[in-house]
Structure 1
Amino acid sequence: MNYIITYTVYVLIISVLMGLTTWKLFKKMGYNPLLSFVPFYNYLIILKETKHPKWWAILSYLPIVGPIMMSVFHLFLMKKFGKRGALNGVLTVVLPFIFMATVNYGKEPEIETEEEEEESKKKETFLGSVTFAVVFATIIHAFITQPFGIPTGSMERTLLVGDFLFVNKWAYGYRMPMRPVALPFLQGTIFDTGQKGNPKDDPKSYVDAVKLPYLRLPGYDEIKRYDIVVFNYPQDSVHTAIDRKDPYVKRCVGIPGDVIEFRAGRLFVNNAPEKILGDEYQQHGYLVTTSSQLNIPQLYKAFGFLPVQENQTNTGFLYTFQGLTDQIAKEIKALPEVVEMKEMIEEKGEGAIRYKANADKTAYTKNIDTTQSIYPINKPWNQDWYGPLRIPKKGDVVKLDKETLPTYQWIISEYEHNKLENKNGKIYVNGQETNQYTIKQNYYMMIGDNRDASLDARFFGVVPEENIVGRPMFTWMSVEGLFADASSTYQAPGKKIRWDRMFKATNTGEANKTSYWWVAVIILVLFFGWDYFAKLFGKKKEEE
């Protein structure tokens, strides 16, 4: 309801501005000037008078697409009154209501003759085609499916670095855009200012001042345990808009009400070992001691995997591997150079402790890792010995005290938007002292398949339902070596397309995934076929 009210207010504001700055132009075109204030109908009149499809008016107030279409309609109106050219176009787009007001209240506006209009339209055919293509792609991107790339190895073996996916936004319920004025195709920022700059200073791809509340439409499915899910990173401090936070992809290992636990790096859900799907592999990190240097290119060719680090010791070499399956670990252990191979499992009871190397990497000391603190911060847990943790469920009444507050404080204050205070050991929610809280939405535990190389819910905490984007449908492109891994000493040799992964379903849990190449063929045939027949029909009509 709040979404609809806020949306209506924005529509009324824009309609009033439209009427105040164009009423005289509407009168000149032969219409009652009051019609310039009527939402949708005012744009329908513009489309009718400029001889464009009138159904385009439906797009005028859609989030993200609407601002683009409004700019197009404003351009149509200004051109109707002879305001053509690059400068006039820029002013219409950048300062629409100011520029239209100067035309509206300036000297008596004159409508272009039909000859002038037809001559100008011929010159702008290409620009119109490009604009329509951008609008069409924006509608697909914003309202149906969104492309998503895999830049890191947290889901290795299942989703590879360099995979590009299409994400279904409707399966779990479509989340309405919360920042309706935004540049198409961009997530949060226009560009990155670099490592030395503050990410909060990066130019945003959206207008943060124009905001709508959270609203999710009903979906036709629900998140199931072990689904692969795309969501917005909950603790992204750069972007306040939920739908503009960085997108992540992980496996949902815990749904609301589940109890999850890691024991020596193995996951247990509701006190039972996790279910391993057909397209998933248990993976672990290993320290490998060798008597001589490993042949890295040969290793990559054989296993498709590289060590993340190599250190020379007094007796040989020490390699760090992440994401090895049991079978690959067995084969590497059998190499003649390997002296010892040990799985990396952190000691039980050590929370958020990592090892820091000295300058020449000959010794390592323990240090507290503040960048990857385990959730919640008051537990002596780590990524291998974690939990048990119960995933909050909508309607749960949880106890609030000194011990439980770190588990729920981010949920109460950030995800459910309450004022949370801790004064002298007493807890206040929205100014009221309390020792309990009722959870308002569902939460999920999102973990990467490559457990030892995944920044996931063990670190940033449970993921709220409002952050869910959707589920991957299929891989439409896969390029090996496209993204560099900053954590690894070695990189994949060159770039190449993985043709065997193209147009295959990503979320089936099956070892042999279905290929949807035929869908791609149909789309291409329809797109180019429609374009061909539209041009052919238009040509015949002109000849008649």
Structure 2
Amino acid sequence: MSYFLTYTVYVLIVSVLMGLSTWKLFKKMGYNPLFAFVPFYNYYIIQKETEQPKWWVALAYLPIVGPIMMTVFHMALMRKFGKTSFMEKLLTVILPFIYMAFVNYSKDAEVENADDLYLTEEEKNAKKKDSFLGSITFAVVFATIIHVFFTQPFGIPTGSMERTLLVGDFLFVNKMNYGFRMPMRPVAIPFLQGTILDTGEKGNPKDDPKSYAEGIKLPYLRLPGWEKPKRNDIVVFNYPDDSVHVAIDRKDPYVKRLVAQPGDVLEFKAGKLFINGKPEVRMGDAQVQHAYEVVTSSQLDVPALYDIYGFLPVQEHQRGSGFYYRFQGLTDQTAKEIGALPQVVTMTEAIEPQGKKDISYYPDMQKSIEAQEMVWSKKVNTSSTIFPNNKNWNVDWYGPLRIPQKGDVLQLTAQNLPDYEKLIVKHEANTLASKNGKIMINGRETSTYTVKYDYYMMVGDNRDASLDARFFGYVPETHIVGKPMFTWLSVEGLFSDAGSTYQADGKKIRWDRMFKAANTGDLHKTSYWWLAALLLILFFGWDYFAKLFRKKDKEI
């Protein structure tokens, strides 16, 4: 079922519930009771009778924002009939159609006089409180509209994009560039991604309370944008292997670089990326890193290196009279400078052997407890095992792999089925079975499959410390959120790195990164400090002059 058809069904269901629970109230306000069943017009009448802003009506049926606005209108309608106590307001919020139906079918429901001349002091104070709450509601609704439809803030807790983007960077992401993806779970708590709270490390994440209604769902739809995702873009997308959330738009957000677009052939050779048989062309802002192993004659002053380069995750081990270091990721220039230190004996880029498969297993917790050390089971952890899982590839020797594009007709065989199984089943919602040499899709034998979406390969600039498409596979267009615009805040030391011997020395703001463009492709980023300053001046200046003019009006 299409997005708009499904959306229309939900609108009609809500309108019927609205009509059944308020038609008598509409009649008592002097309107045809059938108007209570008419989408949008029913809320327009409530707006008119309760003197709410007219443009609020247009928001009443929008995803995410709509439930908030409906609640505002429901409370205004109940206030019209004298239901103003805390309990009555609470029931209107949590059981709207049930409580409104109770009022609707009660014999004593009457329209109350709203003339301020007849209000008691207590009622006037209550009206002031309602006005204040209305201002708060407006602020929440406005912020929700911006958050849902235009731009959304994201934080970076891991180092997969170091040093292009840093751990502790907070970005604003443009949702419009690639075309706005309509919400797929339209009833949700504003500003929360997937869960309301984390129940703790020992709890199952799937049991955490969700911030959205899973049962109310809409299919994928993307509105037209002004550009398509292209090679070398930094992109925010939903993590395809998130097993906690079924809803695509509620899966964890990841940020990586789009290194291969539909139709490209991707390959890694000794850690170097090749696209369509040619070495990658890096943008000016791409500070690609690789892991390095360093042997020294004496201990390195790692905190001093942090002062020069910023936080560099590193493991340190003493070996005899010397030391061994494994740096999680260094740029070519940083590696050259560290390699020139007098105590460095050897420095080599850490490259996995060709033909060695990157594979991960789940731990056997019972045996681990008995042995008092980690014991691994034989069950493969596919989320951190190389994709596709039938290839002897690793992060340094990977491919060649062609990226599917919309309209491709895949020739399916038993050998290449693992390449496309996730695409066919998970991303494009089909059933797939292979038995006795026969491939069955949706119960029918076939040897071909036509791809419905465009796919992309997203890889971190920190090549040896990135959980990316080399593990979770192709990223479908359905999962793309948007394009980072700028870093609005950057804090060093906000997130620790469990794999590093040393940690950042406290928390400090990186002032030089704030309000810097994040996706221009240039090494020297455009600064938007002037825009931030202008907005602050306008915000506080407007408030100052508004108060000044009000004061003059009173004096006159």
Instruction: Identify the TM-score tier after normalising by the shorter chain.
Output: over 0.9
Distance 2:7 2:383 in 1: 39
1:490 maps to a residue whose letter is Y
How far apart in 2 are the matches of 1:26 and 1:371? 55
2:464 match: secondary structure: helix
Residue number in structure 2 paired with 1:157: 163
- 1:223-372 equivalences under 5 Å are 223-353=229-359, 372=384
Q: After superposition, where does 1:346-425 map in structure 2 within 5 Å?
A: 346-353=352-359, 372-425=384-437
Kindly provide the amino acid, as one letter, of the partner of residue 532 in structure 2.
A
Aligned to 1:61: 61
Q: Does 1:95 align with 2:101?
A: no
State the distance in 2 between where 1:196 and 1:119 align: 48
SS in 2 for 1:444: strand
8 A Cα contact 2:432 2:440, kept in partner:
yes
How does the TM-score come out when normalised to structure 2? 0.92
Moved more, 332-341 or 60-69: 332-341
Matched residue SS, 1:452 = coil
* 1:61 counterpart SS class: coil
Matching of residue 86 in structure 1 with residue 86 in structure 2:
yes
Give the drift of 1:322: 1.6
1:360 Cα shift?
12
Equivalent pair of 2:194/2:251 in contact (CA under 8 Å): yes
8 Å CA contact retained: 2:313, 2:499: no
Amino acid in the other structure paired with 1:338: V
Confirm or deny: 8 A CA contact 1:352 1:369 kept in the other structure: no
Query: What are the Cα deviations for residues 199-253 of structure 1, in whole angstroms up to 9, with x where unaligned?
Result: 1111100000000110011111111110000100111111111111110000000
Structure 1 residues 73 and 370, CA gap change in structure 2 (3 angstroms):
closer
Q: Which residue identity does 1:224 align to in structure 2?
A: K
1:520 and 2:532 equivalent?
Answer: yes
8 Å CA contact 1:281–1:449 kept in 2: the answer is: yes
Q: Using the alignment, how far apart are the partners of 1:532 and 1:9 within structure 2?
A: 48
**TM-fit CA distance, 1:542:** 8.5
What is the alpha-carbon distance in structure 2 between the residues aligned to residue 107 and residue 21 of structure 1?
Answer: 14
In structure 2, give the amino acid aligned to 1:209. G
Q: CA deviation at 1:543?
A: 8.8
The equivalent of 1:364 in structure 2 is none
Specify whether residues 542 and 26 from structure 1 end up closer, same or farther in structure 2 by C-alpha distance, changes over 3 A only: farther
Matching residue's letter, 1:72: V
Unaligned stretches of 5+ in structure 2?
363-367, 374-378
Shift of 1:521: 3.0
Residue 207 of structure 2 is aligned to residue 201 of structure 1: yes
Kindly state the Cα deviation for residue 368 of structure 1 after the two structures are TM-superposed.
7.9
Deviates more, 1:434-443 or 1:312-321: 312-321
Q: Secondary structure at the match of 1:451?
A: coil
How far apart are the structure 1 equivalents of 2:44 and 2:544? 28
2:293 partner letter: L
Give the deviation of 1:438 after TM superposition: 1.1
Of the candidates 442, 451, 457, which is equivalent to residue 445 of structure 1?
A: 457
Match of 2:109 in 1: 109
Q: Is the alpha carbon distance of 1:165 and 1:108 closer, same or farther for their aligned partners in structure 2, counting shifts above 3 Å?
A: same
Whether the 8 Å contact between 2:16 and 2:37 is mirrored in structure 1 is yes
Distance 1:101 1:322, change over 3 A: same
CA RMSD of the aligned region, Å? Answer: 2.3
In the other structure, the counterpart of 1:17 is 17
Distance 1:37 1:476 in 2: 45
Change beyond 3 A, Cα 1:490–1:326: same
CA contact (8 A) 1:307 1:319 kept: no
Secondary structure of the 1:4 match is helix
Q: Give unmatched runs, 5+ long, in structure 1.
A: 362-366
**For the residues of structure 2 that align with 1:542 and 1:88, how far apart are their CA atoms?**
38
Deviates more, 1:263-272 or 1:520-529: 520-529
How far off is 1:145 after superposition? 0.5
* Equivalent residue letter for 2:395: Q
Q: Which residue of 1 aligns with 2:376?
A: none
- Calculate percent identity across the aligned residue pairs: 69
State whether residues 360 and 384 of structure 2, in contact with CA within 8 Å, keep that contact through their aligned partners in structure 1.
Answer: no
Structure 1 residues 255 and 109: CA distance shift in structure 2, 3 A: same
Give the Cα–Cα distance (whole angstroms) in 2 for the partners of residues 71 and 354 of structure 1.
48
**Contact map agreement 1:15 1:37 (CA 8 A) in 2:** yes
Residue 194 of structure 1 deviates from its aligned partner by 1.5
1:26 counterpart residue number: 26
Deviations 1:491-511 (A, max 9, x none): 111111111111111111101
Give yes or no for contact 1:288–1:341 (8 Å, CA) kept in 2.
yes
Equivalent position SS for 1:388: strand
Deviates more, 1:105-114 or 1:144-153: 105-114
**How many Å apart are 1:120 and its aligned residue?**
2.9
Structure 1 residue 320: deviation in Å?
A: 1.1
**2:41 corresponding residue in structure 1:** 41
- Cα distance change of structure 1 residues 8 and 118 upon mapping to structure 2, 3 Å threshold: farther
Q: Is the 8 A contact 2:292 2:348 kept in 1?
A: yes
SS at match of 1:453: coil
Q: Which whole-Å CA distance do the structure 1 matches of 2:475 and 2:497 have between them?
A: 25
TM-score of the pair, normalised by structure 1: 0.94
Q: Which moved more, 1:373-382 or 1:521-530?
A: 521-530
Find the partner of 1:173 among 179, 201, 213. Answer: 179
What CA distance in whole angstroms lies between the structure 2 residues aligned with 1:543 and 1:45?
39
Q: CA deviation at 1:126?
A: 2.1
